[in-house]
Chain A
Amino acid sequence: MTSLDVKDGVDQETVEAVRSVGGHYKYGWETEIEMDYAPKGLDSDIVRLISAKNNEPEWMTNWRLDAFSRWEKLEEPNWAMVDYPKIDYQDIYYYASPKSMAEKPKSLDDVDPKLLETYKKLGIPLKEQLILAGVEGAEDVNLDERKVAVDAVFDSVSIGTTFKDELRKAGVIFCSISEAITEHPELVKKYLGSVVPVTDNYFATLNSAVFSDGSFVYIPEGVRCPMELSTYFRINAENTGQFERTLIIAEKGSYVSYLEGCTAPKRDTNQLHAAIVELVILEDAEVKYSTVQNWYPGDENGLGGIYNFVTKRADCRGDRSKVMWTQVETGSAVTWKYPSCILRGNESQGEFYSIAIANNFQQADTGTKMIHLGKNTKSRIVSKGISAGNAQNTYRGLVSMHPKATSSRNYTQCDSLLIGNKCGAHTVPYIEVKNNSSRVEHEATTSKVDDDQLFYCRQRGVNEEDAVALVVNGFCKEVLQALPMEFAMEAQQLVAISLEGSVG
């Protein structure tokens, strides 16, 4: 994350990165670490136990229990264009935490070296590794000029948040959601579940009952967050579900850019990830939320991989508020994800930029919802879907203009690229316009990676795999440019890596 000068399409570094990983999922190792598990399966006792592990107040425990009893009555949805074996919800661990986290380490010597090793492999700089490992006082160590505050979630628990003090000076709260529940209950009570209601959908209800950790961000009125905030999620323990919950509140006139990255080890079994992200955006505030999702996608025969069933929603409550979702979805065996924008405030704006890559036997059903409620609201959707191997990639998007959302506008551009002829791309747009001063534009294209383009690159000396990466990165350029610099590089490399083996 240090080299920032490359943003012009794909670069040589991309090509090198591909070679250096040599055709393997880069984050596929696992950390052997002593874990503290709750018993397998789910019932109200497990919900209570998760709540107790986090030292939650009673109102929170009850909130979870209420969600759990609702979830028990729900049916798993099956409308998405994805196909996977029935999940046995009683065969999953709902809580796993490294044992060494039970007590905060006092110095480097007390930190479980395996934990440090994990962060090192993930490319997180040493000083931040210390902070993440929870070493007291590590924050006073003089950090490099890199200004990205990181929160890392390892299986079920948040490991630590860097730059806390510096952020606090600016009035920004960036901590784990469990900490927020105990330290800032008034904010959590007010906003938790206010964007994604407990009963929103099957996976959201499940998450509400069992979420174990996640990140919390509060940006006070008029504050421009002094650095990028980022969360790193990693699933390590086997047969463990990860249910994190992110809540971001941007008060009037504030601004924050938030990045989220995810990885998981290689395993033959499937693992469930059902997260919720809620963004509350008040008058004149702006939130940029970027995701690079690189959960283990399964092997080339479709064995293993993460089920990524995620509900992300932004509520643009205030007038002139703005949200921008950018996602690079390259991982997971099955993805089911529709980051949405509720454009409630007048003149509020929502943008969605997405790259979804499905290779081998991956399935992705992803898109967005733009719900226009306020006057003069604007939304823009740019979706780039890439399918290779035997993969299926679906864009599913809703644009809804309510009667009061007069003079509103949406522009949707939805491009699909196919590599080979065993994969599929599907576009499912839903459009509802209930007033006559609003305008909705939708453009969709489907194309194949052009043999002439590949030959042209190869004639100049670029090998076939690098040529595909080059062409695909070009195809995704608009979305890559929407990412913060630090992620743009990583995302380009991911594009290349995730397409390995798609040609020849």
Chain B
Amino acid sequence: MLKIKNLKVELEEENKEILKGINLEIESGSVHAIMGPNGSGKSTLSYVLSGKKGYKVTNGEVELAGEPILELEPEERAASGLFLAFQYPVEIPGVGNMTFLRTAMNSQRKFRGETELSAADFLKLVREKAKELKIDSEMLKRPVNVGFSGGEKKRNEILQMALLEPKMCVLDETDSGLDVDAMKLVADGVNALRDKGRAFLVITHYQRLLDHIKPDFVHIMADGRIIKSGGPELALQVENNGYSDLLAEVQ
């Protein structure tokens, strides 16, 4: 589903390399987790994948479902099925959450040459998905993320994901700031979407989320590189011993 080949990225403003040769292959139907110390480049990777400005790709390639995507606009990548649940979801004052969702959904459908959803069908769909995530209708009417609590913002990201049904879902620390019950809701939301035709890249600091969303592979990222890959046991090792052993291993 997603193929990252020797990806090197610098900041556009200054000559600082953040990603120093990332290789990663994510099969359709699988869940990969990335863990790693603060500042190791996890969010940067998610931004570069989704096409945020401010980064310069100096080497490498990224393919989504077999198509190279680094030349595409962010909205084109989105319409091709890439979704990023933001570590810090953005507030958009004055724009109703519902309006935003509908605009996004219809934009993507239009881009793919599909017919737009009628207002009635859309409403029905949103209400259904929102209910599963215990998002009340009040929250749907409020402006996008404005005044939402940290946990509400994260749940709102998952709601968007559930509606847009992307093929490749990148979740950047969707678990941080969630209480135990909310974590369960989010994990259920993700698990409900697990499917042969869909893949997940879950960035997290905590093993706890991975108890709910069982990953097929775990990768450890440090200083812009993936320094170790393994199965779910790797996450447990990090949880118990931190990163120092792993870091020492590479040096």
Contacts and interface: CB of A to CB of B under 8 A. Distances in A.
Interface of A: 5, 8-12, 15, 450-453, 455-464, 466, 470-471, 473-478
Contact of B104 (A461, A473, A475): A461
Given A461-B105, A470-B103, A473-B94, 20 more contacts: A5-B119, A9-B95, A9-B96, A9-B143, A10-B95, A11-B99, A12-B102, A12-B103, A12-B106, A12-B116, A456-B90, A458-B51, A460-B108, A460-B164, A461-B107, A462-B75, A462-B104, A462-B107, A470-B99, A477-B95
16 contacts: A8-B98, A8-B141, A11-B99, A15-B107, A451-B53, A453-B91, A455-B52, A456-B90, A457-B100, A459-B84, A459-B86, A460-B107, A460-B108, A464-B73, A471-B92, A473-B94
A462 B92 contact: no
B107 A466 contact: yes
B78 A10 contact: no
B74 A452 contact: no
Contacts of B107: 15, 460-463, 466
A250 B141 CA distance: 37
B73 A460 contact: no
Given A451-B53, A460-B160, A474-B95, A11 B79 contact: no
B50 A8 contact: no
Contacts of A471: 92, 95
Task: Return the 9 tightest CB-CB contacts between A and B, nearest first.
Answer: A474-B94, A477-B94, A474-B95, A460-B104, A461-B108, A458-B74, A456-B90, A461-B78, A8-B96
A461 B99 contact: no
B89 interface: yes
A453 B92 contact: yes
B116 to A, nearest CB: 7
Contacts, number: 102
Contacts of A9: 94-96, 99-100, 143
A475 B95 CA distance: 8
A457 B100 CA distance: 8
Contacts of A478: 94
A9 B104 CA distance: 14
A127 to B, nearest CB: 28
A397 to B, nearest CB: 22
A453 B53 CA distance: 12
A458 B105 CA distance: 12
Contacts of B98: 8
A335 B5 CA distance: 55
B99 A10 contact: yes
Nearest to B85: A459
Contact-size category for B: 35 or more
Contacts of A15: 103, 106-107
A49 to B, nearest CB: 50
Interface string B32-71: 0000000000000000001111000000000000000000
A474 B90 CA distance: 14
Contacts of B74: 455, 458-459
Contacts of A455: 52-53, 74, 90
Contacts of A461: 75, 78-79, 104-105, 107-108, 111, 164
- The binding surface of chain B is classed by DSSP as helix
B92 A457 contact: yes
A456 B86 contact: yes
Contact of B90 (A11, A12, A452, A466): A452
A453 B88 CA distance: 11
Contacts of B116: 12
Contact of B92 (A12, A459, A470): A470
Contacts of A460: 78, 100, 104, 107-108, 160, 164
Contacts of B89: 456
B139 to A, nearest CB: 14
B103 A474 contact: no
B93 interface: yes
B50 A459 contact: yes
B37 to A, nearest CB: 24
Contacts of B100: 9, 457, 460, 470
B92 to A, nearest CB: 5
Given A475-B93, A475-B94, A463 B73 contact: yes
A451 B108 CA distance: 20
Contact of A474 (B51, B53, B93, B111): B93
A8 B99 contact: yes
A488 to B, nearest CB: 13
Nearest to B116: A12
B92 A456 contact: yes
B89 to A, nearest CB: 7
Contacts of B83: 459
B75 A11 contact: no
Contacts of B92: 453, 456-457, 470-471, 474
Nearest to A455: B52
A455 B91 CA distance: 12
Contacts of B111: 461
Nearest to A456: B90
A462 B103 contact: yes
A117 B51 CA distance: 47
A474 B143 CA distance: 8
Interface string B178-196: 0000000000000000000
Specify which of A450, A455, A459, A477 lies most central, judged by the most chain B CB atoms within 10 Å of its CB.
A459
Interface string B155-197: 0000010001000000000000000000000000000000000
A11 B94 contact: no
A331 to B, nearest CB: 23
Contacts of B102: 11-12
A459 B104 CA distance: 9
Specify which of B84, B100, B103 lies most central, judged by the most chain A CB atoms within 10 Å of its CB.
B103
A478 B141 CA distance: 15
Contacts of B108: 460-461
A10 B92 CA distance: 12
A1 to B, nearest CB: 19
Nearest to A480: B94
Contacts of A470: 92, 95, 99-100, 103
